[in-house]
Structure 1
Amino acid sequence: MGKLDGKVALITGGNSGIGMSTAKLFIAEGAKVAITGRNQTSLNAVSEKLGSSVLAIQADAAELESMEKAVSKTVAVFGKLDVVFANAGISSPTPLGGTDLSFFEEVLKINVTGVFCTVQAALPYLKEGASVILSGSTRATDGAPQRSAYAASKGAISSMARVFVSELSPRGIRVNTVVPGATRTPIWNKSTPEETMKLEAARANTIPLNRMGYPEEIANVVLFLASDDASFVQGAEITVDGGARSAPLGAPIYL
């Protein structure tokens, strides 16, 4: 038996990276999965790859009406909704003194407003025992230069999660947050494989386990939080970063 047998999940930003890996794992564990994204071409590609257990829906996470339609379609096709992974997000540089305000606001709209819209749209269908998982980032606390908007947005996720816990606990709905560190997703790809390898090596040097993570490793934690194995886990933040957040001085660059 799979850990999600008979469950229905919605994953925003499920057309690439961590979201796609999570969708694949959820399906392998017995779930039906709806994925959303803004790029129809990549949605089609993931749908073809994962088969009939996935429903690909073009939607904008930061638009409430768009997410309401996506959730309604999910329930119409699969009959219910048990798990929400609010994963969609962007990471654009916003250097102080050189950032157009529209870029700053776009990051906050997608990463913060988008999470709120996703959970609010799903709420009418979530019953006792449902699981909501938010996607944070170690960028919220590491002070990385030129990432003010992204860091602020992921710090907001932690704060918003606490409020969701207070509001949804009386309904028996769990809310937890997965906090990835540097993970090998397409967002890291440079113009050449050599440049990508150089970047990955530089990041690995700042991580105690001396490597970047894989999307599948993040997905494994999301699976735990989605499953009944985590039935008494509420309001948790699980960091998946090879030790970079908890013991930064243990990284090879300092040894």
Structure 2
Amino acid sequence: MRHGVNMVRDHGSVIVTSSPAGSVGAPGMAAYGASKAAIDQLVRVWALELGPRHIRVNAVLPGNVQSEMMSESTPDVELIRRLTANDTYRPAPEIAPVFHFLVSDASAPLTGSLVGCHDGIPAGFSLEVMARVAADLPAGDEGLQ
């Protein structure tokens, strides 16, 4: 970011992709969640540091988006859907408008924001879903990475 920001014009916009995992714990996701929490904090700090140049910095927090990463990490599509508040597993093109909004003038007041498009994942998970996630962990690896 330190070097790349010199390529961003004043009055520009930087968008970072993060994840609800930065604020919602899940078994087996300690390292991933910690890395996303760090990204979230960097977004807030960069917004302050780049504000004088009128560069806005925001993060998009997509939830369960149909991708190669999701297919490899959680092949159980039914479980993926049940992790959301509205039983959804979105294709990536449905998230793109959030990015478009953040680079548009319509989002001018937003900087340092974490914009969730995660179908309610941070609202929490049912005990049934968490039990299924925990059951998929190898014995003795309850999230310690």
- Classify the TM-score, shorter chain: 0.7 to 0.9
Work out whether residues 64 and 89 of structure 2, in 8 Å CA contact, stay in contact via their aligned partners in 1. yes
Q: How does 1:140-159 map to 2 (within 5 A)?
A: 140-159=22-41
1:130 corresponds to which residue?
A: 12
Instruction: Give the CA deviation at 1:202.
Output: 1.3
- Structure 2 residue ranges without an equivalent (≥5): 130-145
Quote the residue 1:167 is aligned against.
49
SS in 2 for 1:188: helix
Do the aligned residues in 2 keep the contact of 1:127 with 1:172 (CA within 8 Å)?
no
Query: Which shows bigger deviation, 121-130 or 235-244?
Result: 121-130
- Provide Cα deviations, 1:102-123, integer angstroms capped at 9, x if missing partner: xxxxxxxxxxxxxxxxx22222
Relative distance call for 1:247 and 1:153 in structure 2 (3 A) is closer
Q: For structure 1, which runs of at least 5 residues remain unmatched after alignment? A: 1-118
Amino acid aligned to 1:203: I
Distance 2:28 2:98 in 1: 29
- Please identify the structure whose Cα radius of gyration is greater: 1
TM-score by length of 2: 0.78
Q: Is the 8 A contact 1:174 1:234 kept in 2?
A: yes
| Residues 1:185 and 2:40 aligned together | no
State the alpha-carbon separation in 2 of the partners of residues 182 and 160 from structure 1: 23
Deviation at 1:183, TM superposition (A): 1.0
Give 3-state SS (helix, strand or coil) of 1:163's partner: helix
* TM-superposition CA deviations, 1:223-242 (whole Å, max 9, x none): 11112221221111111111
Higher relative CO (Cα under 8 Å, sequence separation at least 6) belongs to: 2
Distance (Å, rounded) in 1 between the aligned partners of 2:68 and 2:84: 19
**In structure 1, what residue type is equivalent to 2:35?**
S
Instruction: State how far apart, in whole Å, the 1-side matches of 2:100 and 2:114 are.
Output: 14
Measured in 1, the distance between the counterparts of 2:111 and 2:122 equals 21
Q: 2:137 maps to what in 1?
A: none
Identity of aligned residues (%): 29
State the alpha-carbon separation in 2 of the partners of residues 138 and 144 from structure 1.
Answer: 10
Indicate whether 1:200 and 2:77 are aligned: yes
Q: Give the 3 Å change call, closer, same or farther, for CA 202–219 of structure 1 in structure 2.
A: same
Task: Please report how far the alpha carbon of residue 129 of structure 1 lies from its aligned counterpart in structure 2 after TM superposition.
Answer: 1.7
8 A contact 2:15–2:57 mirrored in 1: yes
Structure 2 counterpart SS, 1:124: helix
For 2:139, the equivalent position in structure 1 comes to none
Displacement after TM superposition at 1:130 (Å)? 0.6
Matched, 1:230 2:107: yes
One-letter amino acid of the counterpart of residue 154, structure 1? K
TM-score by length of 1: 0.46
Q: Distance in 1 between matches of 2:21 and 2:88?
A: 17
**Structure 1 stretches of at least 4 aligned residues deviating more than 4 Å after TM superposition:** none
2:86 aligned with 1:209, yes or no? yes
Cα distance in structure 2, aligned partners of 1:240 and 1:216: 12
Amino acid at match of 1:182: N
Retained in 2: the 8 A contact 1:213–1:242?
no
